[in-house]
Amino acid sequence: MAMLTIDRNKCKKDGICVAECPFNLISLTGEEGFPDIRPAAARLCIQCGHCVAVCPHDALGLAGMNREDFQPIGYGSPPTLKKVGQLLTGRRSIRTYEQQSIPRPHIEQLLDLCRWAPSAKNKQPVHWLVVENPEEVQHLAGLVVDWLRTTANYPGIVTAWDQDKDMVLHGAPHLLVAHAHTDSLKPEIDCTIALTYFDLAAASCDIGTCWAGILMSAAIAGHQPLLDALALPEGHRPYGAMIFGYPRFPYFKIPPRKEARVIWRS
């Protein structure tokens, strides 16, 4: 099967697919001026699907991808900048949660959106661990505190834990860990981007989130009891973590932030 298939009845030879291919793998040098794909595509094509997605005539197909799986962009007008701005500025790091679990189908919907997060060379290396049980989340928080006891970092967090206050995972009902194989191209960046997708998608439906930085510090330091409890697949390591759940309290104002610091070059 050819890597690039062309419906000659639909193709207008307009070169849009040529211009949009990230690695210049398509040209208009094929038979009768139709698009043709370079032999190097077998090695260099990252299966991003740009060529199929950008064609206004629905004339292209790419080996390994079913045309039926390409969803149309539509569903009305895109959100306005004002609406997007409301989402971005209104999002808060939530540290007090209702003790109510989020239904798994709802979590699955959010994670499904994260499939479209960009990744280096479209490798899509991100895997997810969802800790649904609040008791297990607390167990993981305790393991992080055990690690903190061996360091000079955050003594107040250890003291708070001893007084039955969780300042590590804040009593959240759920924990999300993004992990990938260590041989991945850019796993830390890809996992961070995917977690950001989850973060914003969650905010759009009134689910609160907070990045679990202290847990990640313990994981990066190689705290073995924590890594054993996460029980990730062999060769994988965590590259980002986030607690989430229904916020206990709503917010009514947006705190100020520093002005954007920009260097302009004309």
pLDDT-derived band at 31 (thresholds 50, 70, 90) equals confident
CB atoms within 10 A of CB 14: 14
- In the chain, CATH 3.30.70.20 sits at 4-69
Q: Are 229 and 141 in contact (CB under 8 A)?
A: no
CATH assignment, 4-69? 3.30.70.20
Q: According to the model, what pLDDT value does residue 2 have?
A: 75
Q: Is 175 exposed, middle or buried (0-12, 13-18, 19+ CB in 10 A)?
A: buried
Of 65 and 105, the structure prediction assigns the larger pLDDT to 105
Q: According to the model, what pLDDT value does residue 68 have?
A: 82
- In the chain, CATH 3.40.109.10 sits at 81-245
Q: According to the model, what pLDDT value does residue 239 have?
A: 98
Question: Exposure pattern of 63-77 as b/e (b: 16+ CB <10 Å)?
Answer: eeeeeeeeeeeeeee
Q: According to the model, what pLDDT value does residue 1 have?
A: 53
Domain spanning 81-245, CATH architecture: 3-Layer(aba) Sandwich (3.40)
The pLDDT tens digits of the residues spanning 68-104 come to 888 888 766 788 999 999 999 999 999 999 999 999 9
Q: For residue 18, give both structure tokens.
A: 């040529």
Instruction: Calculate mean pLDDT across residues 49-75.
Output: 88
Specify the DSSP element, H or E, that contains 7.
none
Task: Provide, rounded to the nearest whole percent, the portion of the chain with pLDDT above 90.
Answer: 86
The pLDDT tens digits of the residues spanning 168-221 come to 999 999 999 999 999 999 999 999 999 999 999 999 999 999 999 999 999 999
Q: What is the rounded CA–CA span in Å between residue 38 and residue 23?
A: 10
Question: What DSSP character marks residue 93?
Answer: B
Question: Exposure pattern of 22-36 as b/e (b: 16+ CB <10 Å)?
Answer: eeebbeeeeeeeebb
Q: For residue 134, give both structure tokens.
A: 């609040």
The pLDDT tens digits of the residues spanning 101-159 come to 999 999 999 999 999 999 999 999 999 999 999 999 999 999 999 999 999 899 999 99
**Which amino acid, one-letter code, is at 152?**
A
